Protein backbone atom coordinates (compact mmCIF):
# COMPACT_ATOMS: atom_id res chain seq x y z
CA UNK A 1 0.00 0.00 0.00
CA UNK A 2 3.03 2.24 0.11
CA UNK A 3 2.70 2.82 -3.62
CA UNK A 4 -0.10 5.30 -3.02
CA UNK A 5 0.36 9.04 -3.34
CA UNK A 6 -0.72 10.68 -0.11
CA UNK A 7 -1.87 14.29 -0.10
CA UNK A 8 -3.01 16.21 2.93
CA UNK A 9 -5.13 19.28 2.14
CA UNK A 10 -5.45 21.88 4.90
CA UNK A 11 -6.95 25.31 5.21
CA UNK A 12 -9.62 27.36 6.90
CA UNK A 13 -13.32 26.49 6.76
CA UNK A 14 -14.91 28.43 3.93
CA UNK A 15 -11.74 28.44 1.78
CA UNK A 16 -13.04 25.61 -0.35
CA UNK A 17 -10.55 22.92 0.52
CA UNK A 18 -13.24 20.24 0.35
CA UNK A 19 -13.91 21.05 -3.30
CA UNK A 20 -10.18 21.14 -4.00
CA UNK A 21 -9.82 17.67 -2.53
CA UNK A 22 -12.67 16.48 -4.69
CA UNK A 23 -11.02 17.82 -7.81
CA UNK A 24 -7.74 16.06 -7.02
CA UNK A 25 -9.61 12.83 -6.35
CA UNK A 26 -11.62 13.17 -9.54
CA UNK A 27 -8.54 13.82 -11.64
CA UNK A 28 -6.80 10.79 -10.13
CA UNK A 29 -9.84 8.67 -10.77
CA UNK A 30 -10.07 9.81 -14.38
CA UNK A 31 -6.41 8.89 -14.74
CA UNK A 32 -7.33 5.34 -13.81
CA UNK A 33 -6.22 5.27 -10.20
CA UNK A 34 -8.00 3.93 -7.19
CA UNK A 35 -8.87 6.80 -4.86
CA UNK A 36 -9.83 7.36 -1.25
CA UNK A 37 -10.47 10.67 0.52
CA UNK A 38 -11.58 11.81 3.88
CA UNK A 39 -12.94 15.11 5.08
CA UNK A 40 -14.73 16.57 8.04
CA UNK A 41 -18.05 18.38 7.72
CA UNK A 42 -20.32 20.25 10.08
CA UNK A 43 -18.36 22.67 12.17
CA UNK A 44 -15.79 23.09 9.40
CA UNK A 45 -17.95 25.62 7.62
CA UNK A 46 -17.64 27.97 10.55
CA UNK A 47 -14.14 29.28 9.94
CA UNK A 48 -12.36 26.51 11.80
CA UNK A 49 -9.24 24.63 10.87
CA UNK A 50 -9.93 22.10 8.11
CA UNK A 51 -8.02 18.94 7.30
CA UNK A 52 -8.70 16.44 4.57
CA UNK A 53 -6.79 13.70 2.82
CA UNK A 54 -6.59 12.40 -0.72
CA UNK A 55 -4.87 9.13 -1.54
CA UNK A 56 -4.54 7.53 -4.91
CA UNK A 57 -2.65 4.62 -6.36
CA UNK A 58 -3.10 1.20 -7.85
CA UNK A 59 -5.25 -0.15 -5.03
CA UNK A 60 -6.14 2.26 -2.26
CA UNK A 61 -8.50 1.14 0.44
CA UNK A 62 -8.12 3.56 3.31
CA UNK A 63 -8.25 7.33 3.16
CA UNK A 64 -6.19 7.59 6.32
CA UNK A 65 -2.83 9.32 6.01
CA UNK A 66 -0.74 8.75 9.11
CA UNK A 67 1.50 11.41 10.56
CA UNK A 68 4.77 11.44 8.73
CA UNK A 69 3.31 9.78 5.64
CA UNK A 70 2.05 12.56 3.40
CA UNK A 71 3.99 13.07 0.20
CA UNK A 72 2.54 16.52 -0.23
CA UNK A 73 1.07 19.01 2.22
CA UNK A 74 -1.22 21.29 0.22
CA UNK A 75 -1.95 24.24 2.47
CA UNK A 76 -4.33 27.04 1.57
CA UNK A 77 -3.25 29.03 4.59
CA UNK A 78 0.09 29.45 6.28
CA UNK A 79 -0.81 28.89 9.92
CA UNK A 80 -2.67 25.74 8.98
CA UNK A 81 0.41 24.57 7.06
CA UNK A 82 2.33 24.61 10.32
CA UNK A 83 -0.44 23.00 12.30
CA UNK A 84 -0.44 19.89 10.11
CA UNK A 85 3.22 19.97 9.13
CA UNK A 86 4.05 16.73 10.91
CA UNK A 87 1.81 14.78 8.58
CA UNK A 88 4.47 15.35 5.96
CA UNK A 89 7.19 12.82 5.27
CA UNK A 90 10.72 13.92 5.93
CA UNK A 91 11.30 14.10 2.19
CA UNK A 92 7.91 15.56 1.41
CA UNK A 93 6.84 18.74 -0.32
CA UNK A 94 5.01 21.59 1.40
CA UNK A 95 2.99 23.60 -1.09
CA UNK A 96 1.71 26.64 0.75
CA UNK A 97 -0.54 29.44 -0.41
CA UNK A 98 1.01 32.76 0.57
CA UNK A 99 -1.98 33.86 2.59
CA UNK A 100 -2.47 34.60 6.25
CA UNK A 101 -5.97 34.38 7.65
CA UNK A 102 -6.06 35.68 11.16
CA UNK A 103 -7.73 33.42 13.67
CA UNK A 104 -10.10 35.05 16.11
CA UNK A 105 -8.90 37.68 18.52
CA UNK A 106 -9.55 35.23 21.33
CA UNK A 107 -7.23 32.70 19.70
CA UNK A 108 -4.54 35.32 19.23
CA UNK A 109 -4.69 35.97 22.94
CA UNK A 110 -3.38 32.44 23.42
CA UNK A 111 -0.52 32.64 20.95
CA UNK A 112 0.49 35.15 18.29
CA UNK A 113 0.36 34.36 14.59
CA UNK A 114 3.91 33.28 13.76
CA UNK A 115 5.89 35.61 11.52
CA UNK A 116 6.81 34.61 7.98
CA UNK A 117 10.41 33.86 8.92
CA UNK A 118 9.35 31.44 11.66
CA UNK A 119 6.83 29.80 9.35
CA UNK A 120 9.33 29.22 6.57
CA UNK A 121 12.06 28.03 8.90
CA UNK A 122 9.71 25.59 10.58
CA UNK A 123 8.43 24.29 7.24
CA UNK A 124 12.00 23.69 6.11
CA UNK A 125 12.81 21.77 9.25
CA UNK A 126 10.33 19.12 8.14
CA UNK A 127 9.88 19.33 4.40
CA UNK A 128 12.58 18.61 1.90
CA UNK A 129 11.01 21.15 -0.41
CA UNK A 130 8.92 24.16 0.43
CA UNK A 131 7.14 26.18 -2.18
CA UNK A 132 5.27 29.28 -1.09
CA UNK A 133 2.85 29.89 -3.94
CA UNK A 134 1.57 33.40 -4.58
CA UNK A 135 -1.80 31.86 -5.32
CA UNK A 136 -3.94 34.55 -3.74
CA UNK A 137 -2.01 37.20 -5.63
CA UNK A 138 -2.42 35.36 -8.92
CA UNK A 139 -6.13 34.84 -8.26
CA UNK A 140 -6.57 38.51 -7.47
CA UNK A 141 -4.81 39.38 -10.70
CA UNK A 142 -7.32 37.18 -12.48
CA UNK A 143 -9.99 39.25 -10.78
CA UNK A 144 -11.37 36.78 -8.25
CA UNK A 145 -9.73 35.72 -4.99
CA UNK A 146 -12.04 32.69 -4.96
CA UNK A 147 -9.82 31.21 -7.69
CA UNK A 148 -6.95 30.80 -5.20
CA UNK A 149 -7.61 27.12 -4.74
CA UNK A 150 -7.54 26.37 -8.41
CA UNK A 151 -4.23 28.23 -8.74
CA UNK A 152 -2.93 25.99 -5.95
CA UNK A 153 -4.19 22.92 -7.78
CA UNK A 154 -2.34 24.08 -10.88
CA UNK A 155 0.83 24.35 -8.85
CA UNK A 156 0.16 20.95 -7.28
CA UNK A 157 -0.28 19.35 -10.69
CA UNK A 158 3.36 20.17 -11.45
CA UNK A 159 4.36 17.56 -8.85
CA UNK A 160 1.85 14.80 -9.57
CA UNK A 161 1.71 12.14 -12.24
CA UNK A 162 -1.78 13.04 -13.42
CA UNK A 163 -2.31 14.13 -17.05
CA UNK A 164 -3.19 17.76 -17.68
CA UNK A 165 -6.29 16.75 -19.62
CA UNK A 166 -7.65 14.83 -16.64
CA UNK A 167 -7.20 17.83 -14.38
CA UNK A 168 -9.07 19.98 -16.87
CA UNK A 169 -11.84 17.43 -17.09
CA UNK A 170 -12.13 17.17 -13.30
CA UNK A 171 -12.31 20.95 -12.92
CA UNK A 172 -14.87 21.23 -15.68
CA UNK A 173 -17.05 18.64 -14.01
CA UNK A 174 -16.86 19.94 -10.48
CA UNK A 175 -16.73 23.75 -10.43
CA UNK A 176 -19.91 25.79 -11.02
CA UNK A 177 -20.56 25.80 -14.79
CA UNK A 178 -20.30 29.58 -15.12
CA UNK A 179 -16.81 29.61 -13.63
CA UNK A 180 -15.22 26.80 -15.66
CA UNK A 181 -13.30 29.06 -18.01
CA UNK A 182 -11.79 31.16 -15.23
CA UNK A 183 -10.93 28.12 -13.20
CA UNK A 184 -9.11 26.52 -16.10
CA UNK A 185 -7.20 29.73 -16.61
CA UNK A 186 -6.34 29.88 -12.90
CA UNK A 187 -5.19 26.28 -13.01
CA UNK A 188 -2.81 26.97 -15.88
CA UNK A 189 -1.50 30.09 -14.17
CA UNK A 190 -0.71 28.04 -11.09
CA UNK A 191 1.00 25.37 -13.13
CA UNK A 192 3.09 27.92 -15.00
CA UNK A 193 4.05 29.61 -11.76
CA UNK A 194 5.17 26.32 -10.24
CA UNK A 195 7.12 25.35 -13.34
CA UNK A 196 8.96 28.63 -13.17
CA UNK A 197 9.66 28.53 -9.43
CA UNK A 198 10.17 24.89 -8.58
CA UNK A 199 13.75 23.70 -8.52
CA UNK A 200 12.78 20.06 -8.48
Residue numbers at the binding site for another protein (CB under 8 A): 1-2, 12-13, 22, 25-26, 29, 34-49, 60-69, 79-80, 82-83, 85-86, 89-90, 102-114, 118, 122, 125-126, 145
CB of 35 to another protein, least distance (A): 6
Partners of 8 in the β-ladder: 53, 73
Structure letter (DSSP) for residue 76? S
Give the nearer residue to another protein in terms of CB position, either 57 or 163: 57
State the greatest distance between any 2 C-alpha atoms of the chain, in Å, as a whole number: 48
Q: What is the dihedral of CA 32, 37, 42, 45, to 10 degrees?
A: -70
Candidates 41, 1, 12; CA nearest to 149 is 12
Give the nearer residue to another protein in terms of CB position, either 119 or 186: 119
CB of 49 to another protein, least distance (A): 4
Give the nearer residue to another protein in terms of CB position, either 103 or 190: 103
CB of 42 to another protein, least distance (A): 3
CB of 195 to another protein, least distance (A): 28
Q: What is the Cα–Cα distance from 75 to 126, expressed in whole angstroms? A: 14
Give the nearer residue to another protein in terms of CB position, either 47 or 163: 47
Q: What is the Cα–Cα distance from 142 to 124, expressed in whole angstroms? A: 30
Give the nearer residue to another protein in terms of CB position, either 43 or 165: 43
Residue 146's SS3 state is helix
Bridge-based pairing of strands 129-133 and 88-97 is parallel
CB of 187 to another protein, least distance (A): 19
Amino acid sequence: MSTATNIVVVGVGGQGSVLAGQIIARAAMLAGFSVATSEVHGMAQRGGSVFSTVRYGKAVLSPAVPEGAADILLAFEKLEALRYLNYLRGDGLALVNDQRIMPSIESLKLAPYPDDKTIEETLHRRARDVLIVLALGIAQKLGNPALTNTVMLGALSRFLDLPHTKWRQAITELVPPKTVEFNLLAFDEGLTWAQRHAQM
